[in-house]
A and B are shown apart, each in its own frame.
Chain A
Amino acid sequence: MPEHFLFAQFSKKTEIRKGTRILVIEFIISIGLGAVKVALAMALIWLIAISPHQLNNLLGWILVLVTLAFVGFWVPPEEKILGSSYLIFFFHFPSAINCMNLFVIGGVFSFLCLLNKNSSLKLSATSCDLWAASAIEVGMLACTITLVTGGIWGRAAWGEWDTWIINDPRLMSVYFMWLTYAAYLALRASMDKGRRRELYCAVFGLLATLNVPIVYYAIRVFGKENHPMSLTLDQTSMKTTQWVGAGAFLVLYIGLMRLRRNYYKSCEQTDRLQEDFNRARI
């Protein structure tokens, strides 16, 4: 990282002051760039989300099949260093970046749920809570796929399931995110439905999402980049498949998120009908 070389040049007296300024500036720049990327992803997600959900799901699966076809018939079957094991990258990479997107969506909806109590937003707090839960559940699926495919790739390429967490900051940050959102799901499961569950899950969802950039930034800046990066995507077919795959999985995950949210909505409606029925019986 650049700041290691820069810091070595400063005298002890000015080191801390200048070092802090550089650290803060770099942090702000990386957060700014991250925010721009997230905003673009949000815009894309919103465009996808306004389409009918059946079309969303169908399109998602079709794009995933297209990715599979590219992997099977277009990209080279072997890579210079990693051989044929590199093909799993076209499923590992999309899941990795989309899990972050989904967790951020979950965090945004958690924030809206907290705001909603006193505001007149179109989306109710309950609706925001269901969206947040759906996003986080599908995000957990993506995160699990990332960890599992990473392990399988590691085993195929280097003979070990994972370089293991202690050696790899990137793997560590994804694993920490997985644990944090698993705790969110545990909290949700331990509470009965109601306003309190919505509030508590929104608070923890917000805390967890605020933690994500800290995990992402701190571990990578202060750790040694040890993530196996010997893959070189030097052909057009590889780069195209990489980003087609990322888009395909994004569409698919959004479709799954909407499906999950519709399932929760149906459960709510069923419960309400059951209550009305019970009241009518009495």
Chain B
Amino acid sequence: MTGAALFFSLLRWDLLRELRRREIVPNMALFAVLMLTIAQLGAGGDLVLFDGDKRIEIDIPGKVGPVFFWMAIVFTGTVGLSQSFAAEREGGRLTGIQLAPIDLGVFYLAKVAATWIYIMMMGIALLGVYMLFFNFMRWDLLPSLLGALAVFALGYTGAGIILSSMTTSLRGGGEIVLRILILPLMMPVVLLTLQVSEATFGKEVFGENLGPSLELWKYMITVLSLDAIYLTTGYLVFPKIVEE
């Protein structure tokens, strides 16, 4: 079987399994919505201050909404990552994967693609809820936002699948260890993603503190380079991880 045929075959298998069992995407989406609900309780409305007779309204949802959105994606994504090897772990299929005469690098790429699709689906569902809770009606920014989400999710899953494959064999499924490992690795990307908020959400999150807003194309190039590094490293080291 050629690499591409193997890739699509494995991807199809993963997606079909998820379609039948509906374990990962609904749970992730629900968890993300719950996180956003709690965020909205504290930051759903404008802050009104009075300076003498002058009324000052501070747009809290616009300022902190993007932070909560990306936070929900990042934390909920760890749920998807920890579940990505659940089927292989439960059925004892990890040994089967080791013995199968397939290119394990392609298996890794198929896993990344499947998890990326789950995160995108969860992200789109979350975006709908976000628009409702935080009154975000900038339809013109949706392509930029979805593009940023796609690029972010690619690096996230690229690094996350490597770490998930390592931690799946640890005590208790390594759930906590996975989160401790993935979050620091992703922090620079999260920072850049927040810095591009003006292009994706129409509002600067950092203001003058960190620097000028990042342009979307600069963000794409930087994060895609990082994604390429993670995917290449994953393709090369995943076979060694599975062999152990």
How does the 8 Å CB contact mask read for A150-190 relative to B, with 1 for contact and 0 for none? Answer: 00000000000000001101001100100110110011001
Chain A nearest CB from B149 CB (Å) reads: 19
Task: From known contacts A207-B230, A222-B192, A224-B211, infer whether A183 and B181 are also in contact, taking CB-CB under 8 Å.
Answer: yes
Tell me whether A179 and B187 are in contact (CB under 8 A).
Answer: yes
CB closest chain-B residue, reference A222: B214
Instruction: Kindly identify, within residues 182 to 204 of chain A, every residue whose CB is under 8 Å from any CB belonging to chain B.
Output: 182-183, 186-187, 190-191, 195-196, 199-200, 203-204
Tell me whether B191 and A219 are in contact (CB under 8 A).
Answer: yes
Which residues of B are found within 8 Å of A173, using beta-carbon distances? 188
How does the 8 Å CB contact mask read for A1-38 relative to B, with 1 for contact and 0 for none? Answer: 00010000000000010011001000000000000000
Tell me whether B244 and A195 are in contact (CB under 8 A).
Answer: yes
How does the 8 Å CB contact mask read for B101-129 relative to A, with 1 for contact and 0 for none? Answer: 00000000000000000000000000000
Q: Which of B21-29, B39-47, B84-92, B215-223 is the contact stretch? A: B215-223
CA A207 to CA B184, docked complex, whole Å: 11
Chain A nearest CB from B240 CB (Å) reads: 6
A214 within 8 A of B: yes
Task: From known contacts A204-B166, A222-B192, infer whether A183 and B217 are also in contact, taking CB-CB under 8 Å.
Answer: no
CA A183 to CA B177, docked complex, whole Å: 8
Which residues of A are found within 8 Å of B217, using beta-carbon distances? 16, 19-20
The 8 Å CB contact of B185, one of A195, A200, A211, is A211
B49 within 8 A of A: no
CA A182 to CA B187, docked complex, whole Å: 14
Task: From known contacts A187-B177, A195-B244, A214-B188, infer whether A203 and B237 are also in contact, taking CB-CB under 8 Å.
Answer: yes
CA A166 to CA B226, docked complex, whole Å: 22
Instruction: Kindly identify, within residues 161 to 176 of chain B, every residue whose CB is under 8 Å from any CB belonging to chain A.
Output: 162-163, 166, 169-171, 174
Tell me whether A167 and B210 are in contact (CB under 8 A).
Answer: yes
CB closest chain-B residue, reference A214: B226
Tell me whether B166 and A210 are in contact (CB under 8 A).
Answer: no
Q: Is chain B's binding surface mostly helix, strand, loop or mixed?
A: helix
Which residues of B are found within 8 Å of A138, using beta-carbon distances? none
CA A128 to CA B203, docked complex, whole Å: 48
Tell me whether B169 and A196 are in contact (CB under 8 A).
Answer: yes
The 8 Å CB contact of B221, one of A23, A167, A187, is A23
B9 within 8 A of A: no
Tell me whether A183 and B184 are in contact (CB under 8 A).
Answer: yes
Sorting the interface of chain B by its residue count into under 10, 10 to 19, 20 to 34 or 35 or more gives 35 or more
CA A106 to CA B55, docked complex, whole Å: 56
How does the 8 Å CB contact mask read for B216-244 relative to A, with 1 for contact and 0 for none? Answer: 01100110011001100100010011001
The 8 Å CB contact of A218, one of B192, B208, B230, is B192
B147 within 8 A of A: no
Which residues of B are found within 8 Å of A224, using beta-carbon distances? 208-212
Tell me whether B184 and A176 are in contact (CB under 8 A).
Answer: yes
Tell me whether A183 and B180 are in contact (CB under 8 A).
Answer: yes
Chain B nearest CB from A3 CB (Å) reads: 9
Known: A16-B217, A203-B237, A226-B209. 15 other contacts (CB 8 A): A19-B217, A167-B210, A179-B184, A180-B187, A183-B184, A183-B185, A187-B177, A196-B244, A204-B166, A207-B162, A207-B233, A214-B226, A218-B188, A222-B211, A224-B210
Residues of A participating in the B interface, judged by any CB pair closer than 8 Å = 4, 16, 19-20, 23, 114, 117, 166-167, 169, 172-173, 176, 179-180, 182-183, 186-187, 190-191, 195-196, 199-200, 203-204, 206-208, 210-211, 214-215, 218-219, 222-224, 226
In the complex, the 10 A-B pairs of residues with the closest C-beta atoms, listed nearest first: A224-B211, A179-B184, A180-B184, A223-B211, A200-B166, A215-B188, A167-B209, A196-B244, A183-B184, A183-B180
Residues of B participating in the A interface, judged by any CB pair closer than 8 Å = 159, 162-163, 166, 169-171, 174, 177, 180-181, 183-185, 187-188, 191-192, 195, 206, 208-212, 214, 217-218, 221-222, 225-226, 229-230, 233, 237, 240-241, 244
